[in-house]
Amino acid sequence: MKPTSLIIALALLSAALSVARADSRIARLCGSDHVNEVASVDDVSANPAGYYVASLKEQIYQGDPRIVLTTGDEFYLCTRTAATPGMDTTNALLLMRERTVKYLFVPVIRRDTREPS
């Protein structure tokens, strides 16, 4: 086997293991049967302060522990209800149908797949 073929094979194996590790973190943090909750390609956008999730109208700032870097190509969003057990009844009822970000998995290298305008 040529050295370049060996290097390419090792690189592909390393990438496959990284993606498998990212998938296991999604399953562990969001649940094994969780479905990505990103509404569309433009739902999550990067900005200088962090990331904005348009469907939830929520800004997540850099350094927030809910941001998880991944080797995948797409954003992956896990949400939870905005109501918490510690709230009084009125606030819990008002926020019962609201969702907030639980974890946002962000690709380390973002590949732009949109067509140029």
User: Domains of the chain: which residue ranges?
Assistant: 3-107
What per-residue confidence (pLDDT) applies to 52? 95
Q: What is the pLDDT along the chain (117 residues), one digit of tens a residue?
A: 566 665 665 554 454 444 444 468 888 888 777 788 888 888 999 999 999 999 999 999 999 999 999 888 889 999 888 888 888 889 888 888 888 888 999 988 765 555 555
Task: Tell me the residue ranges of DSSP E strands in 8-117.
Answer: 44-47, 50-53, 58-61, 67-70, 76-81, 99-107
